[in-house]
Amino acid sequence: MNVYFPPADFWWSAWTFDPGIWFSIVSMHGAYLLVVGPLRSKFSTSKPLASRQLVFWTLGILTLIVALITPLSLLADQYLFSAHMLQHVLLTLVAPPLLLLGLPGWVFDPLRQFPLLLRLARQLTGPFAAFAAFNVVFVVWHIPAFYNLALYSTPVHLLKHLTMVASALGLWMPILSPTPLLPRAPLPVQVLYIFLASVISTGLGALITLARVPIYIFYEQAPRFWAIPALEDQIWAGLIMWVGAGLIFLLALTIVFFHWFGANGPIAGEHSFI
């Protein structure tokens, strides 16, 4: 067994310096600060940004940094399936809802000037389309042939992350849309929607956890980081998806459920959900 023990400075030297990743994150955050700051006067219905929105957005950006730039990214790309699964949870179930909670609804107002684009956006962010798009993307990328291909090919790996984050933003829109232009689903639909989404993701995690042999050849052949066996690493990866994702969906389901019964007021609108 090829065992790899990291050097003492691993956690400080193993950061990702891919210019494409840095450019994407910096551009996203820079565009946000420009729109809610100097360019806010260009939006006729704009309002000052609430401090909690800035906090949520910043947390979302920091989550992307943790997933794609810190040593977690190197562990995920070269050594540990469990690290890769944690990365996926951060990219699909943590960062997207935080980013949506940080967006003011008025940034979508320009859609009013493009009726066809607005209609398309409403269709794509509706519960059925958003649910289908995310789960197709998520399941396809976890098919061993595609999963291994992404690990062996940098362009495919970047495409994988891009499609997962984009579809995850769509997944959360029926629950967290910040604008009535792209309305949230009715509360009873949200409850069913979150439950079904949790079944698919946690079901995949259960299959991975209970597998008797390594599923992905890349991680079976990778150097054993800290001498962790491939099958044990796979079990931890499955548990991260099974339990970790399940807890996130349970939290969302609990919040929506209590809103449904009026415990915290209506969930519709820009300043609800939490």
Give the start-to-end residue ranges of the domains of the chain.
17-260
| pLDDT at residue 260, as a whole number | 86
Total-model pTM: 0.92
pLDDT at position 162 over 90: yes
- Name, in order, each residue with C-beta under 8 angstroms of 4's C-beta and a sequence gap of 6 or more: 79, 223, 224, 225, 226
| pLDDT at residue 99, as a whole number | 98
Question: Cβ(238)–Cβ(210) under 8 Å?
Answer: yes
Instruction: Give the C-alpha separation, 256 to 274, whole Å.
Output: 9
Around Cβ 126, how many Cβ atoms within 10 Å? 17
pLDDT tier, 183 (very low <50, low <70, confident <90, very high otherwise): very high
pLDDT at position 4 over 90: no
Is 3 in a helix, a strand, or coil? strand
